[in-house]
């Protein structure tokens, strides 16, 4: 078993009276595809935002490769090697696809090397033919890939993907899953995916945690999770015995 790359311990986040995250602890291991699932409003996106620095947790710690990154700003965390994509794509509307990817690549590259990096990322995400298109003119499936591409350009060690399969049709989904597989196997990027599309989670993830009402209710392999009574309860409600 490989070493943990990200350790979240007792993470708590409150919004007024609402406890969005209640003492969440989890470990993501180097090189794996990890998944967080849970019903709507379970706190998945909040968990991402608190890891990545877009929100500051009220309590708890986040360790990345042993270094405490709790409450650091997102650009610093990005420099360390973690970045994430948004649930609803937020591509830079007034830029072309290539420019968007360039913004990400500037962090580590310059000049010719940067252009190479941009080309490489566009190829991986199968966006080469759209490179001069403006993001505002693109459809959902492509925007998700643009978002993935610009995140990849920052050369993350750990990539957090927030529902990147949502709203895609089956063939688009297969395409995306192929790309994610390649990122993990060929580029050795550790992936953490938050997902509603079960087909995607079950075929990609090696380990899954289930979040409900801000708490982790189950953890295990896809097979274990799919038969876990509390998971079924959280998704479908309690079985009524009559």
Residues of this chain that interact with other proteins (CB under 8 A) are 52-54, 73-76, 78-79, 83-84, 86, 90-95, 99-100, 102-104, 106-107, 150-151, 153-154
If you count DSSP H runs as helices and E runs as strands, how many of each does the chain have, helices first? 9, 10
DSSP string, 179-241: HHHHHHHTS--EEEEE-S-HHHHHHH-SEEEEEETTEEEEEE-HHHHHH-HHHHHHHH-PPPP
Q: What is the rounded CA–CA span in Å between residue 163 and residue 237?
A: 23
Helix, strand, coil content of the chain in percent (nearest 5): 40, 25, 35
Shortest Å distance, C-beta 148 to other proteins: 12
Shortest Å distance, C-beta 184 to other proteins: 20
Shortest Å distance, C-beta 154 to other proteins: 6
Nearer to other proteins, 98 or 212 (CB): 98
Shortest Å distance, C-beta 100 to other proteins: 8
Nearer to other proteins, 51 or 168 (CB): 51
List 216's β-bridge partners, or say none. Answer: 211
Nearer to other proteins, 78 or 173 (CB): 78
Rg over CA atoms, the chain: 18
CA-based torsion, 83, 85, 90, 91: positive or negative: positive
Nearer to other proteins, 78 or 211 (CB): 78
Shortest Å distance, C-beta 118 to other proteins: 12
Q: What is the rounded CA–CA span in Å between residue 6 and residue 175?
A: 28
Nearer to other proteins, 159 or 234 (CB): 159
């Amino acid at each position: 078993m490989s070493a943990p790359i990200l350790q979240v311990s007792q993470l708590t986040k409150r919004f007024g009276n609402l406890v969005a995250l209640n003492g969440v602890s989890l470990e993501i291991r180097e090189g794996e595809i990890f998944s967080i699932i849970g019903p709507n409003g379970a706190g998945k996106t909040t968990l991402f935002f608190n890891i990545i620095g877009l929100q500051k947790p009220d309590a708890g710690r986040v360790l990345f490769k042993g270094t405490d990154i709790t409450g650091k700003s997102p650009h610093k965390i990005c420099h360390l090697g973690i970045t994430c994509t948004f649930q609803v794509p937020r591509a830079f509307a007034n830029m072309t696809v290539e420019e968007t990817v360039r913004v990400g690549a500037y962090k580590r590259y310059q000049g010719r090397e940067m252009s190479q990096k941009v080309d490489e990322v566009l190829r991986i995400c199968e966006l080469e033919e759209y490179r001069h298109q403006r993001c505002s003119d693109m459809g959902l499936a492509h925007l998700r890939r643009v978002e993935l591409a610009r995140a990849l350009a920052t050369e993350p060690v750990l990539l957090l993907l927030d529902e990147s399969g949502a709203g895609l049709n089956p063939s688009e989904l297969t395409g995306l899953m192929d790309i994610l597989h390649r990122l993990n196997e060929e580029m050795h990027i550790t992936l953490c995916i938050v997902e509603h599309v079960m087909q995607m989670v079950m075929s990609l993830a090696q380990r899954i945690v289930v979040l409900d009402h801000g708490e982790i209710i189950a953890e295990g392999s896809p097979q274990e999770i799919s038969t876990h009574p509390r998971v079924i309860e959280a998704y479908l409600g309690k079985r009524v015995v009559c």
